[in-house]
Chain A
Amino acid sequence: MSLKVLEQFKNPELCKKLLDCLNKEIEKEIRFMEVCGTHTVAIFRSGLHSVLPEKVIHLSGPGCPVCVTHESEVNAFLDLAGKDGVIIATFGDLIKVPGKKGHCLKNAQADGARVEIIYSPFDALEIARKNPNDTVVFLGVGFETTAPAIAATVMMAKEQKIDNFKVLSFHKLVPPALDVLISDPETMIDGFLLPGHVSTVIGIHPYDFIGAKYGTPAVVTGFEPVDILQALLQMVRSMKEEHPKVINQYQRGVSEYGNPKAVEVMYQVFESSDALWRGIGLIPNSGLEFSDKYESFDAKKVFDLKIGECPSLPGCKCGDVLKGKMTPEKCPLFGKACTPASPVGPCMVSTEGSCAAYFKYKVD
């Protein structure tokens, strides 16, 4: 899509009209959750947060892949970093996430661990090809958005017999987590802005249960101000229905059934499994484990890693923030013990974390 077309979705006059409509049509307070970290940042960066009607209460959800990576998973990859013959390949977000005793990949790198920041899982495969005497472990963190590309990389590694490429699969699936959140009476969520990127892969129907089972409106949304405002307006209108259907606002990026080929690739390499989410705990069928056919690429098996519950960081309220029970500023550590320079929890580390967004963008 050209930048010119994209510009239309930032158009201030159109935004003003949508804001006026929203102001007119909103009857009671609504607490909406934007599930995706990219939405969180978009809402702040565009200045939307400061112009939304007062009746619109904005909550951030568990849609930042770094933020939901469980402490035990962070500790597992930190344990791997620095092992002889291991090269860790990762997207940049994970490099500063603190694990036990505040240790992170950046510290590990300074201590001599081999850590490569990459932009695509195929780059990790290339590193493996160039370093045949080492094992390259790619940190497979992310949602349905990134999992197909990682699965395709694993398939390529198998086809090309690149045996020194492994993946630590800590993938998470979004719909099961939302089911847990709505079921929690403390969250009081009136509507969801659903992640557009995830739906480019899975389509909109995996979210049907939100309206059908709970009567909660849900809109799959793009990432520009016009997208978000239009989605909020659709959400307000949808609230009047008893069993609202999931709405696809992001039709330029998302088709009703997503990308079936990508889903097929993902489920050739992986199969769904229970997964630990930071701040939320174990959610059935919300993760992806290697299928038997590809288990030789599973870093957990190759390195015999044990992933299990471990103590949470003392004082850290990231869990409550992820569940929308608390805004970042209410956390006693926010801006004091926990800042981007010295983060306690992952919501302050990730560029898409809600605590980092509040700290970075909020004026007052």
Chain B
Amino acid sequence: MSSDKVLLDYGSGGRASQRLISELFIKHFANPELERLNDAAAFNIDGKISMSTDSFTVDPIFFPGGDIGSLAVHGTVNDVAMLGAIPKYLTCAYIIEEGFPMADLEKVVISMSEAVKDAGVAIVTGDTKVVPKGAIDKIFINTTGVGQIVADPMPSGDRATVGDAVLISGTMGDHGLTVLGTRGGISLESNVMSDSAALNHLLVKLVQEIPDVHVFRDPTRGGLATTLNEITTASNVCCELEESSIPVKPEVVGGCSILGLDPLYLANEGKFLCILPQKYAEQALEIMRADKHGKDACQIGNITDANPGKVILVTPLGGRRLLNMLEGEQLPRIC
């Protein structure tokens, strides 16, 4: 590109836009459907479709373990896959602040293209807008994904049933603490890294080998606590968790302790909850543990009828307390 910064011209729809599209996006996202440069993408998918959209506005855009580009792929691929679907195609819309460094844009695009290859999906259509300096914070990316649902019956948030086991694929809070810890003004020195990853291959393996998975859900914003509350409300059941079974890395526990945060409310971008009949729990855990994205998988609780709509945490002391939904955002406290 002729400029080292993104200029308003690149969003004009004229030649500058075309250069940006051909020399950056098509170069890295290369696939036949995208290269046609039609107004829309044409593709075939048989049967029931899973579709999801998400906008990514993370700050900072580069963080240990990932960046806004890979995150924009992982987030949407995972959402599509949570219905027991094979994600196939993505759309991708960039909104870029005027003056954004071209080198950073290319880093984000390359990261996105690698994430797409890893997930086995294709970006088939997209859009680029450049807005005046100050109108947004650096760069926003929206992705929409579609996939083919292969699970029958389909996992769904309202299918948690009394007697089910609650499984988690790994440690909680890694992504949330990483992003907060690298934000301006905090500079938390820690080895913790984002867990951002595409989970679709593992999720598909689970639904293909286990006859009936009731719920898949990724505990992203709001973390494990909020996600489980959504499920217990939708299914009108109680979820009883053993606090000591919930995996949290020691460095996340330490970082949260310093900042006054609770890891069970922190976002995760490479983990999922799996709720299914207890009789399939061991089989599911074996499948999960054999995959790099599920090596720390474990059972953390059960679905009961004790307090419908609520999530109860049984503490190591044997005490019982509510694990409520997050209200607003977690904030650092005074002392």
Contact residues of A with B, CB < 8 Å?
A: 3, 10, 12, 15-16, 38, 44-51, 65-66, 91-96, 117-119, 123, 126, 141-143, 145-146, 197, 225, 340-341, 350-352, 359-363
Residues on the A chain within 8 Å of B328, using CB: 96, 340
Which of B312, B313, B318, B322 lies in contact with A12, CB distance below 8 A?
A: B318
Residues on the A chain within 8 Å of B331, using CB: 92-93, 95, 117, 351
Whether, in the assembled complex, B13 has its beta carbon less than 8 Å from a beta carbon of chain A, the answer is: no
> In the assembly, what is the distance between CA of A146 and CA of B334, in Å?
8
> In the assembly, what is the distance between CA of A91 and CA of B186, in Å?
12
Closest to B185 in A: A123
Cβ distance A308 to chain B, nearest Cβ, rounded Å: 24
Closest 4 CB pairs of A and B: A47-B319, A92-B331, A47-B315, A340-B327
Check if A360 sits within 8 Å of B334, measured CB to CB: no
Instruction: Select the residue from A96, A118, A119, A350 with max chain B CB neighbours within 10 A.
Output: A119
Residues on the B chain within 8 Å of A94, using CB: 334
Whether, in the assembled complex, B283 has its beta carbon less than 8 Å from a beta carbon of chain A, the answer is: no
Residues on the B chain within 8 Å of A92, using CB: 331-333
Instruction: Assess A3 versus B254: contact at CB under 8 Å? Given A96-B328, A363-B321.
Output: yes
Instruction: Assess A3 versus B250: contact at CB under 8 Å? Given A93-B334, A117-B331.
Output: yes
Which of A15, A49, A95 lies in contact with B321, CB distance below 8 A?
A: A49
Closest to A351 in B: B333
Which of A46, A197, A341, A360 lies in contact with B335, CB distance below 8 A?
A: A197
Q: What are 8 residue pairs bridging A and B, where the CB atoms are less than 8 Å apart in the complex?
A: A12-B316, A66-B334, A91-B332, A92-B333, A118-B185, A119-B185, A126-B185, A363-B310
Check if B332 sits within 8 Å of A119, measured CB to CB: yes
Do most interface residues of chain B lie in helix, strand or loop, or is the interface mixed?
A: loop
For window 218-255 of B, CB contacts with A under 8 Å fall at 243, 250, 253-254
Cβ distance A25 to chain B, nearest Cβ, rounded Å: 19
Whether, in the assembled complex, B320 has its beta carbon less than 8 Å from a beta carbon of chain A, the answer is: yes
Check if A363 sits within 8 Å of B254, measured CB to CB: no
Cβ distance B329 to chain A, nearest Cβ, rounded Å: 9
Contact residues of B with A, CB < 8 Å?
A: 185-186, 243, 250, 253-254, 259-260, 307, 310, 312-322, 324, 327-328, 331-335
Instruction: Assess A47 versus B317: contact at CB under 8 Å? Given A3-B254, A119-B185, A363-B312.
Output: yes
Which of B186, B307, B315, B332 lies in contact with A46, CB distance below 8 A?
A: B315
Instruction: Select the residue from A48, A118, A350, A361 with max chain B CB neighbours within 10 A.
Output: A361
Cβ distance A1 to chain B, nearest Cβ, rounded Å: 10
Instruction: Assess A362 versus B321: contact at CB under 8 Å? Given A3-B253, A46-B315, A340-B327.
Output: yes
Instruction: Assess A361 versus B314: contact at CB under 8 Å? Given A123-B185, A142-B335.
Output: no
Cβ distance A131 to chain B, nearest Cβ, rounded Å: 14
Cβ distance B180 to chain A, nearest Cβ, rounded Å: 10
Cβ distance A298 to chain B, nearest Cβ, rounded Å: 20
Residues on the A chain within 8 Å of B186, using CB: 119
Instruction: Select the residue from B312, B315, B333, B334 with max chain A CB neighbours within 10 A.
Output: B334
Residues on the A chain within 8 Å of B333, using CB: 91-93, 350-352
> In the assembly, what is the distance between CA of A317 and CA of B263, in Å?
32
Residues on the B chain within 8 Å of A12, using CB: 316-318
Check if A146 sits within 8 Å of B327, measured CB to CB: no
Check if A47 sits within 8 Å of B332, measured CB to CB: no
> In the assembly, what is the distance between CA of A10 and CA of B315, in Å?
10
Closest to B250 in A: A3
Cβ distance A146 to chain B, nearest Cβ, rounded Å: 6
Residues on the B chain within 8 Å of A16, using CB: 317
